[in-house]
Structure formats: structure tokens, C-alpha cells
């Protein structure tokens, strides 16, 4: 991903990226995006764009391992996050799923991840400490809760599934308040042009609709022109 594409991706929302990727696939057969409704701690922040650093956590019940093992895995997890290619996004699956109660994500953990170079988080897990999280560290989570419960790291550096989206370590991810999408490597060379083309076509349609005297006849004409610009 070159700098020009990175800056463009940071300037558009995730729905735009999804539409551009769909236009690059025959019959719009692109499905590598989240499903469901996430919670964004910083809904007005620029989108997260980066390479996935994956982890798995749980917290509803205590770990059955020795405390020393749990501690060492946690530190190894932080080392893994620190060494990951940048820009990096932590993509962390809470294995408790819809029954997750352990708020692994709060002021302390957000600050630690930010300090080792992670840009933000995509997780189906629980977040807390709203209002005191780092301003420049967006977290897209599954729910809000007050308690750490028994939150602990169970693994890292393996494929995960968050909001129905399968993510592998190193995947290029775009995420914002709407959810997230994985950008396939084969789409990267054409993505800049695809996004620019899409944004221009959509802007022309919206601008036409805002013109004085816009009516159904003009809508049909504008829509015909819009359809010709789509792939």
C-alpha cells in the first residue's frame, strides 16, 4: 500500500471502500465485510487503515491455566503487537461472543496498545472507560460494560472472526463506525482508481439532485448517467 492509497483510504468511509471493492468483483460478489452493528468509541474519528494484528481473548470465566502462563502469554501478546508491521490495527476476537462480559478494552489497555504503535482496535468484545480513552485511539467494539471480569489473552497471531468477518494476520483492514472490510491484495493496484471513480460518480448524482427544479424526469436522466459510470 503506497502513501497515496493510504491517504485516500483515510479520507473515505468504509461503505465507500466496500462499494469500490464490489465494483471490482464480477456481479458485486464481494463479501469480506462485517455483519451486525458495532459500537464506535470515536465515531467522528478518521477511519482505521492498517494491517491486522490478531488476538483472541476470553473473560466470562477464569483461565484454568497457571497464573504464570497467563501472564507470560499476555506479555508475549504485547511483544507481538509491538513488532507488527505498521500501520497496525488490533483485531481481537472475544471467544465469549454474544455473552462477552470482560472489558479487556479500557483506558489502560488502549494506552498500552497505542504506546507500542497500534492505531486502533476492531473487536467483538467489551469496552469500558468511555470518556477517558485516548482521543486518537478508536475502538470498534461489540458492547460496553463496566467490569474487567476474568479477561485474559488466550492466543494471538492466528486467524480470527469478528462480526462474522474472518481476518488473518497481516490482512489490510479498513474500519470505521459502520464496521470493517478486508481489502484483498489483488484489489490494491486498482483500488485508488476505483474509489476515485466511484466518489466522482456519486457526487455528480447527489449534486444533480440538489439543483433547483430537480424532478422525476431529471432523476431518471441523472440515474441513467450514473449507471453508465458504474462497473
Binding residues for Mg(2+), as ranges, are 129
**Residue ranges of the binding site:** 128-129
Pairing between β-strand 139-141 and β-strand 152-156 as defined by DSSP bridges? unpaired
C-alpha cell at 158: 492466528
* Cα gap 81→79, rounded to integer Å: 5
Find the helix packing angle between 188-209 and 14-24, rounded to 10°. 110
**Residue ranges of the binding site for substrate:** 128
* Cα gap 49→165, rounded to integer Å: 16
Sequence-separated (6 or more) residues with CB below 8 Å from residue 226: 201, 202, 204, 205
C-alpha cell at 106: 479500557
Amino acid at each position: 500500500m503506497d502513501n497515496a492509497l493510504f491517504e485516500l483510504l483515510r479520507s473515505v468511509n468504509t461503505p465507500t471502500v466496500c462499494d469500490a471493492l464490489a465494483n471490482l468483483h464480477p456481479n458485486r460478489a464481494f463479501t469480506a465485510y462485517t455483519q451486525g452493528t458495532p459500537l464506535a468509541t470515536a465515531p467522528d474519528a478518521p477511519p482505521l487503515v492498517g494491517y491486522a494484528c490478531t488476538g483472541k481473548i476470553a473473560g466470562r470465566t477464569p483461565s484454568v491455566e497457571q497464573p504464570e502462563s497467563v501472564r507470560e502469554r499476555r506479555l508475549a501478546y504485547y511483544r507481538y503487537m509491538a513488532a507488527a508491521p505498521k500501520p497496525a490495527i488490533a483485531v481481537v476476537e472475544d471467544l465469549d461472543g454474544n455473552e462477552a462480559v470482560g472489558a479487556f478494552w479500557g483506558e489502560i489497555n488502549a494506552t498500552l496498545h497505542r504506546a507500542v504503535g497500534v492505531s486502533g482496535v476492531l473487536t467483538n468484545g467489551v469496552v469500558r472507560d468511555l470518556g477517558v480513552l485516548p482521543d486518537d485511539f478508536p475502538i470498534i467494539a461489540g458492547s460496553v460494560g463496566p467490569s474487567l471480569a476474568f479477561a485474559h489473552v488466550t492466543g494471538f497471531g492466528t486467524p480470527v472472526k469478528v462480526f462474522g468477518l474472518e481476518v488473518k494476520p497481516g490482512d489490510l483492514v479498513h474500519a470505521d463506525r459502520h464496521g470493517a472490510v478486508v481489502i484483498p491484495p489483488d484489489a490494491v493496484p486498482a483500488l485508488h482508481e476505483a474509489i476515485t471513480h466511484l466518489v466522482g460518480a456519486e457526487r455528480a448524482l447527489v449534486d444533480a439532485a440538489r439543483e433547483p427544479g430537480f424532478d422525476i424526469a431529471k432523476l431518471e436522466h441523472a440515474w441513467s448517467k450514473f449507471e453508465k459510470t458504474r462497473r
